[in-house]
């Protein structure tokens, strides 16, 4: 009797194909390495119905055509999955809520979290596929000492996308492959040219896919049926200095488009959405050294148990800034060595140690102690200039007696607990 040995089944991979050159080359690389690949494009919106041209954004009909063409050239199965309902609920509606609350959302990060690495991974596993593959410029490695999966920067510093992937969990990282992480963009385009991909010279997507022409306020009015009314511009003292077109239309740090002539440049320094007012002031008022983050995801560590020296980005393409991160209630507190310009509620702050993503979270309102320091500065005696405002040991339950005890003891080496509470 003879026994016929069957060859082991190759690992199966779902390739998230956006129609761009990056995901197309990612598919080719995985196929080259012996994976059984299936191309998937997520239909998230009907962009043409939103007034998009479909060329510079993702998820358009043109993108679907390009992805299908590459899948055909690679001779791999290809499907389009309709996630429009989930995208509307989890991405677009949150986008509107954050803007209406005075923040600035990052829908691309939310899309990665909920769509690409939640819905797609669930779909892949339900269909017997071990991996989800994307064209992001980042790397996934496993720490041999701890066994934890690590997210690392892409080797192409100009294209590194680790910032937008900080929400990946350990379970997801174990099933995610990012084959472009060790390549440069020029190498990726060269591969696409070599294999005559239809999208080899296609421009990278830059816009929010569901916002026509970048005019998010107009999109929101069309989406919600609301009209965002005009209101008052205020200076730092609360004096009315002009009329704005609706607080939702302005972002922290904005200078252009204010229509104010106050004798010196002014910037958006704050918004009161309930009162529909926008506060403007000098650029110096935008800087904060301390930020809080919530909705935190840790990658390289299971949790934060004490202070750590890190570098951090509060914006996608920002140069990393030296800081120390501390545990705080519902998240973490980040103290930068140097004040940062306009850390914006709703945006993500991502922490690094070297090329490893430690974790990240969503920034909340600017830290109240920084605001108190600015307001108190003109009123204190010269001998007290430069003193810091710090939280009382009992947090919001501290009265004048607690504040006095803190003041009497802080110079003797006593330090308040880092509870994350504010006064």
Sequence-separated (6 or more) residues with CB below 8 Å from residue 356:
150, 151, 152, 300
Domain architecture of the chain: domains with CATH:
12-213 (3.40.50.620), 228-281 (2.30.30.280), 285-368 (2.40.30.10), 390-423 (no CATH)
- Express each pLDDT in 194-216 by its tens digit: 999 999 988 887 668 888 678 99
pLDDT of residue 46: 72
- Express each pLDDT in 272-286 by its tens digit: 999 999 999 999 999
pLDDT at residue 419 tops 50: no
Separation between Cα atoms, residue 342 and residue 223, nearest integer Å:
28
- Express each pLDDT in 159-180 by its tens digit: 999 999 999 999 999 999 999 9
The catalytic site residues sit at: 111, 209
Beta strands in 273-381 (DSSP E): 277-281, 287-298, 308-313, 321-328, 331-341, 348-353, 356-363
Separation between Cα atoms, residue 164 and residue 296, nearest integer Å:
13
- Express each pLDDT in 10-25 by its tens digit: 999 999 999 999 999 9
Least confident of 14-18, 134-138, 409-413: 409-413
Separation between Cα atoms, residue 372 and residue 360, nearest integer Å:
26
């Amino acid at each position: 009797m003879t026994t016929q040995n069957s060859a082991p089944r190759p690992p199966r991979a779902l390739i998230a194909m956006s129609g761009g050159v990056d995901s197309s080359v990612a598919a080719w690389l995985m196929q080259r390495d012996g994976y059984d690949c299936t191309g998937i494009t997520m239909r998230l919106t009907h962009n043409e119905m939103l007034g998009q041209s479909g060329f510079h954004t993702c998820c358009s009909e043109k993108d679907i055509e390009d992805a299908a063409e590459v899948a055909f050239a690679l001779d791999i199965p290809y499907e389009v999955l309709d996630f429009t309902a989930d995208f509307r609920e989890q991405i677009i509606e949150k986008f509107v809520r954050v803007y209406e609350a005075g923040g600035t959302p990052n829908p691309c990060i939310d899309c990665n979290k909920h769509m690409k690495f939640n819905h797609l991974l669930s779909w892949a596993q339900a269909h017997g596929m071990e991996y989800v593959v994307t064209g992001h410029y980042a790397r996934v490695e496993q720490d041999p000492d701890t066994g934890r999966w690590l997210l690392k920067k892409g080797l192409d510093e100009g294209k590194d996308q680790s910032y937008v992937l900080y929400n990946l969990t350990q379970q997801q990282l174990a099933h995610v492959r990012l084959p472009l992480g060790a390549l440069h963009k020029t190498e990726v385009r060269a591969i696409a040219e070599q294999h005559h991909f239809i999208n080899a010279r296609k421009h990278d997507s830059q816009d929010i896919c569901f916002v026509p022409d970048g005019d998010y306020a107009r999109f929101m009015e069309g989406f919600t049926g609301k009209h965002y009314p005009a209101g008052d511009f205020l200076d730092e003292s609360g004096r009315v200095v002009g009329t704005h077109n609706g607080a939702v239309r302005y972002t922290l740090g904005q200078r252009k488009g204010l229509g104010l002539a106050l004798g010196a440049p002014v910037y958006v320094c704050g918004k009161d959405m309930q009162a529909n007012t926008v506060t403007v002031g000098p650029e110096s008022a935008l800087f904060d050294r301390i930020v809080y983050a919530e909705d935190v995801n840790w990658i390289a560590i299971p949790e934060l148990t004490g202070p750590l020296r890190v570098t951090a980005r509060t914006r996608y393409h920002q140069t990393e800034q030296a800081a120390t991160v501390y545990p705080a209630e519902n998240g973490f507190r980040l103290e930068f060595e140097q004040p940062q310009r306009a850390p914006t509620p709703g945006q993500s702050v991502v922490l690094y140690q070297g090329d490893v993503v430690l974790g990240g979270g969503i920034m909340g309102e600017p830290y109240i102690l920084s605001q108190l320091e600015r307001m108190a500065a003109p009123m204190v005696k010269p001998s007290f200039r430069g003193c810091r405002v710090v939280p009382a040991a009992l947090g919001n339950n501290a009265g004048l007696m607690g504040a006095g005890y803190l003041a009497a003891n802080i110079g003797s080496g006593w330090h308040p607990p880092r509870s994350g509470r504010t006064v």
